[in-house]
Structure formats: C-alpha cells, structure tokens
Amino acid sequence: MPAFGLGLPASVLAADPSDPVSSLERIVNGSQDNAYQVVYNVTANGPSTEKSVEYTETYYRKGDWQRIDIVDKRKAGQSISTRVYFNRKDADFTACTQAPGQEWDCHRLTGSGALQVADSSMFFIFDPASGFVKALVEDPSSRGAGLEQRENREVAGQIGHTYVLYAAPPQQGYVEFVVTDDGLLLSIDSRAGNMSQDAAVEAVEIRGEVPDDAFKPPAMPSDAMSLSSL
C-alpha cells in the first residue's frame, strides 16, 4: 500500500530500526508541503475508569496553514464548537467558538504570543514539521530514557513507522506513536507507569484534498485575544 501523499511504496518505509532519530529526521524534512485533512478520535482517562475526554478533532494542513476543529463526542450538538487556525510562518493564530444557537465568535493573536499558544496546543502534536517529532530530532533531552523504532503499522488505511518513547525513568510509562514517511501522524498511545492507557489519538479518516477556503474563519476575528478566550 502506498504511503500517504507522496505515493511512496511500502518498501521505502523499511528504515533502519537501530537509528530512529535519523528516521524521524527524514520524516520532518519530508513533511513540509503536504496537504491533507485527518479526522482523529482523541481520548483521555480521568481518575476513574471513565473517559474524561472524548473528542473528534479534524486537522487540516495546506501550505503554511493549519486548522483544527474540535467536537465533544459526549455532547454532540450541545457543546461549544471550536475551530482554531494557525499560520506559523506569519505567526497568526485565530480561535473561533460557537455556542449552540449562537453566532461564531473569533479572536486573533499574532507575533510571539501566537507561536507560544500554538506550541502548547494540539498543533504541537499533529504537525511533525514543527511539533514534538521535530523536538525529538533536535533536542536529545526530549527523548527521555530512550527512543525505539518498531515494526510498521497500518492505521486508517495508511502504513507508518512505529516509535516508542520511554519516560525517564522508564517505570513512569511510555508513549507509542505512528507517523508516515511524509509526516502524517496516525496514532499516539500514552501509557502511565502502571501500563494503563492514559491518553490516545488515532486517525479514523484521511483525505488528500483541502479547499483553499478551509482556512477562512467563519466570522471576522477581533485583533486581540487573551488566553482565556481559548
């Protein structure tokens, strides 16, 4: 099965498992100009056995633009809808919310503040060109107790590399993630020290077409935004 976007054959995915950092570096360098939209299921556990978070998040990417739509699966149609737009090159971050039965309300942040907010959000997870995958390549201290590469996996019809990042010390748990050669995040599985699932992100639908108007906010944003607006 070809890898997403670049049409690479599965044989290209046979990276050297003894050198996971170099493998991730190739992914970062090859993920700059791809366009796609991906629907993810996002879950996290609370103090009990129930899910404290259960969202559908749709991630759009095209050129310098990215967008995330967030829907609370437990309160579909009854919770606030959220759309977040980000352009790293222009340092432009816009967050839009819509309460049930209300108009969209959008707020814009630019400059260094926009970059800080984006890097503390899901953009840091979804974007391998600038997010946590790039951090693993450039900052050895981010690799915890070690980074391993395992067998390739198929998620949502796409084949990707599987990596495991161990906490320091390893007894505190690990994070397993799957990403394609051209930078598409397929899944993240975070395990706590007792090996119970702490949080998970998994792609369920992938599309290679992104219309240009996907990055136009649904309402004119104000030029100022506080962190409490998010």
For 186, the domain range is 22-229
Query: Quick check: 190 and 173 in contact, CB under 8 A?
Result: yes
State the CATH number of the domain containing residue 187. 2.50.20.10
3-state helix, strand, coil in the chain (%, to 5): 20, 40, 40
* Residue partners of 95: CB distance under 8 A and separation at least 6: 82, 83, 84, 85, 106, 107, 109, 225, 229, 230
pTM, full prediction:
0.81
- Out of 70-74, 87-91, 117-121, 186-190, pick the least confident: 70-74
Residue 80 scores a pLDDT above 90: no
5 within some domain: no
Q: What pLDDT score was predicted for residue 10?
A: 32
Task: Name the residue type at position 149.
Answer: Q
Q: What pLDDT score was predicted for residue 102?
A: 92
Going edge to edge, which strands form the sheet with 105-110?
Answer: 105-110, 92-98, 81-87, 65-72, 51-62, 36-45, 197-207, 185-191, 174-179, 158-166, 146-155
9 within some domain: no
2 within some domain: no
8 within some domain: no
Q: Where are the alpha helices (DSSP H) in 66-162?
A: 112-118, 123-126, 132-138
Q: What pLDDT score was predicted for residue 225?
A: 53
The count of domains in the chain is 1
161 within some domain: yes
185 within some domain: yes
Residue 226 scores a pLDDT above 60: no
Summarised one tens digit per residue, pLDDT across range 163-201 is 998 887 767 788 899 999 888 899 999 887 665 657 899
10 within some domain: no
